[in-house]
């Protein structure tokens, strides 16, 4: 089978990581099977389309290095790849269904439908426009050809509905899903869904099925939120006389806290990114927060799929050779930001130290620090192991370039005693008087003279240099910033301890 898969988002807002994982699984499946990965923009609902959303979709895929084989910008033999440019194709296929009496024109007004809905609800029943009551409505199944033409001639608004089931038809339709196995739908419980809206544009369901067939999509890999639509989509394939694609419904990405599907609002609510690239000036994104695209790919690939074995860190190339839809789990997985950070740390460690150096140079330029004697490469080499996000580079490197203005409150409290102050005074005096000295010998001397532990002196020096107990090795910092700057910072801490 020639493998052709599609990622078909609607441009109703920024693309979040649930959609990204769907795109990734489609892409990996195509690569593994020497197939084609298509981007199709499903913009049939123009009122909900948002300016910039389509570009955000493309930029997200580009940042992640997910390459498109066919799409709105790339082109291809099966275009156009925006549904808003394919309306005539949909009308043609809807007309075909009408001519075969598999679809019909419905002239019911909003008031007609509202009255019918209220009457049904009074009986404690849900309202469905289907085989049980379609004969009670104003539609082309019940009207003469002359009456239909009359309504059309006077411009009466109408929709086109799919005739989902009639008494005597086979009641069920069964489909096999790769992840979930056999699923059976009862057609008699389906409504006669609208195929063509009153504004003469198709509904999502009709356009989706027509495009998948005309674009020769072999596998439909999408989120499980589309499972309730699967029965209807299969009925459409049946009505057109088309072979169904292979269906793969992916598990949901769940909220990290509480229950339910992850939403775009969760990121803002709980303070973590859900978009991979920036959307507006205020929204968080993995790119803005300092994640590497390789890490996001790695994390999302394993969020619902596992290749087996103990290995966890993979490149995109690795995943292209390993991915199998047969191993996708049917169960949803909670978003775990800490685990995502862990993957980012692992991928940073695999990068050249120059990655950290370049980020550090950007931070120095941003702060207009141009003439520092501290060599960025030396700093980058030291802090790389401590960096989990590229946005943390300055926090890990700042004390090499700037004296701390404040001290960590808890750390400072642990050193607020006479022993610390005496030890630092002694250390400052020893280093100032000795032109030729080593910090190690100076600390040994002070520890003996003041009868204090070396760890106390080292902690005090670290707090003076960094502003907190965390950081790279004390002797590395002392070596890089030099004697004069080190003594200046020790004196600053002494002044604070004497307050």
pLDDT at 159: 98
Task: Write out pLDDT tens, residues 66-100.
Answer: 999 999 999 999 999 999 999 999 999 999 999 99
Quick one: residue 78, left, alpha or beta (phi over 0 = left, psi -120 to 50 = alpha)?
alpha
Q: Are 379 and 474 in the same domain?
A: no
Active site residues: 264
Q: CB–CB of 279/14 below 8 Å? A: yes
Average pLDDT over residues 273-298: 94
Q: What is the CATH number of the domain that holds 55?
A: 3.40.50.620
Half-sphere exposure of 392 (CA within 13 A, CB side): 15
- Check residue 178 and report its DSSP letter: T
Q: What pTM was computed for the model?
A: 0.93
Asked which of 335, 361, 392 is the last residue of a domain, the reply is: 392
Q: Are 190 and 275 found together in one domain? A: no
Instruction: Report how many domains make up the chain.
Output: 4
Residue whose tokens read 């059309």: 152
Shared domain check, 437 and 477:
yes
How many residues in total does the chain contain?
A: 499
The mean pLDDT value for 168-196 works out to: 96
Asked if residue 191 and residue 92 are part of one domain, the reply reads yes
Residue 20 lies in a domain: yes
Nearest CA to 485 out of 457, 459, 464, 468 is that of: 464
What pLDDT sits at residue 280? 85
pLDDT(13) > 90: yes
Are 340 and 359 in a shared domain? no
Residues 266 and 361 in one domain: no
Residue 270 pLDDT: 84
Per-residue pLDDT band for 499 (boundaries 50, 70, 90) equals: confident
Mean pLDDT value of segment 420-444: 92
Residue 345: which residues within 8 A CB-CB, separation 6 or more? Answer: 387, 388
Residue 345 and residue 263 share a domain: yes
Task: Report if residue 469 sits inside a domain.
Answer: yes
Averaged confidence pLDDT in the chain: 96
In a domain, 226, yes or no: no
pLDDT in tens, 391-425: 999 999 999 999 999 999 999 999 988 899 999 99
Kindly report, residue by residue over 322-356, the tens digit of the pLDDT.
999 999 999 999 999 999 999 999 999 999 999 99
Q: Which alpha helices (DSSP H) does 106-166 contain, by range?
A: 110-122, 145-153
Nearest Cα neighbor of 69 from 95, 41, 35, 102 is 35
Would you say residue 258 has pLDDT above 80?
A: no
What are phi and psi for residue 183, nearest 5 degrees? -130, 130
Q: Are residues 320 and 365 in the same domain?
A: no
What average pLDDT does the segment 291-302 reach?
98
> Is 307 part of any domain?
yes
Weakest-pLDDT range from 27-41, 50-64, 405-419: 405-419
* Structural domain includes residue 180: no
Examine the domain organization and report whether 74 and 119 are in the same domain.
no
Handedness of CA 325, 331, 337, 343 (dihedral sign): negative
Q: What pLDDT, on the 0 to 100 scale, is given for residue 144?
A: 96
Tell me the CA distances in angstroms from 299 to 276, 307, 332, 343, one per residue in order: 12, 13, 15, 7
What percentage of the chain has pLDDT greater than the value 90?
A: 92
Per the domain annotation, does 176 fall within a domain? no
In which band, very low, low, confident or very high, does the pLDDT at 443 lie, cut at 50, 70 and 90?
Answer: very high
Between CA 483 and CA 498 the distance in angstroms is: 23
- pLDDT of 45 > 80? The answer is yes
Determine the average pLDDT of the residues in 177-188.
Answer: 97
Any domain includes 404: no
375-414 b/e (C-beta count within 10 Å ≥ 16 → b): ebeebbebbbebbbbbebbbebbbbbbeebeebeeebbee
Same domain, 453 and 474: yes
55 and 134 inside one domain: no
| CATH number of the domain where residue 455 is located | 1.10.10.350
Give a yes or no: residue 212 inside a domain: no
In terms of domains, do 48 and 119 share one?
no
> Contact 398/374 with Cβ under 8 angstroms?
no
Domain span including residue 162: 88-171+186-196
pLDDT of residue 265: 87
């Amino acid at each position: 089978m020639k493998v052709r898969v599609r990622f078909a988002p609607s441009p109703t807002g920024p693309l979040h990581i649930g959609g990204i994982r769907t795109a990734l699984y489609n892409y990996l499946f195509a690569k593994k099977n020497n197939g084609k990965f298509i981007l199709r923009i499903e913009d049939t609902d123009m009122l909900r389309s948002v300016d910039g959303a389509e570009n955000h979709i493309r930029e997200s895929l580009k940042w992640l290095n997910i390459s498109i084989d066919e799409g709105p910008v790339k082109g291809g033999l099966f275009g156009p790849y925006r549904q808003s440019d394919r309306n005539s194709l949909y009308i043609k296929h809807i007309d075909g269904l009408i001519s075969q009496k598999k679809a019909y024109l419905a002239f019911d007004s909003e008031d007609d439908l509202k009255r019918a809905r209220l009457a049904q609800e009074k009986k404690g029943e849900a309202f469905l426009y289907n085989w049980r009551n379609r004969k009670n409505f104003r539609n082309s199944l019940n009207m003469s050809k002359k009456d239909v033409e009359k309504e059309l001639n006077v411009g009466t608004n109408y929709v086109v509905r799919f005739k989902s089931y009639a008494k005597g038809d086979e009641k069920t339709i069964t489909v096999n899903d790769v992840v979930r196995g056999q699923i059976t739908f009862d057609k008699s419980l389906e409504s006669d869904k609208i195929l063509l809206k009153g504004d003469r544009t198709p509904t999502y369901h009709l356009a989706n099925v027509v495009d998948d067939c005309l674009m020769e999509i072999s596998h439909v890999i999408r989120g499980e939120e589309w499972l309730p639509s699967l029965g209807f989509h299969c009925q459409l394939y049946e009505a057109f006389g088309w072979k169904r694609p292979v269906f793969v419904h992916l598990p949901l990405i769940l909220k990290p806290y509480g229950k339910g599907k992850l939403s775009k609002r969760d990121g803002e609510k709980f303070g973590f990114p859900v978009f991979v690239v920036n959307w507006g000036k205020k929204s968080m994104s993995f790119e803005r927060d300092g994640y590497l695209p390789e890490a996001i790919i790695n994390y999302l690939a394993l969020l619902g799929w596992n290749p087996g074995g103990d290995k966890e860190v993979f490149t995109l190339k690795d995943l292209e050779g390993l991915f199998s839809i047969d191993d996708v789990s049917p169960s949803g997985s909670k978003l775990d930001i800490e685990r995502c950070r862990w993957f980012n740390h692992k991928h940073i460690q695999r990068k050249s130290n120059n990655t950290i150096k370049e980020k550090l140079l950007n931070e120095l330029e941003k702060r207009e620090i141009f003439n520092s004697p501290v060599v960025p490469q030396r700093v980058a080499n030291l802090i790389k192991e401590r960096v989990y996000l590229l946005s943390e580079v300055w926090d890990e490197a700042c004390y090499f370039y700037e004296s701390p203005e404040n001290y960590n409150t808890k750390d400072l409290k642990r050193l607020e005693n006479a022993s610390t102050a005496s030890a630092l005074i002694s250390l400052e005096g020893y280093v100032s008087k000795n032109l030729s000295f080593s910090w190690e010998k100076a600390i040994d001397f002070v520890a003996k003279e003041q009868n204090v532990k070396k760890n106390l002196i080292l902690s005090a020096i670290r707090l003076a240099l960094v502003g907190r107990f965390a950081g790279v090795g004390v002797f590395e910092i002392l070596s890089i910033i030099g004697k004069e700057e080190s003594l200046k910072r020790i004196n600053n801490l002494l002044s604070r301890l004497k307050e």
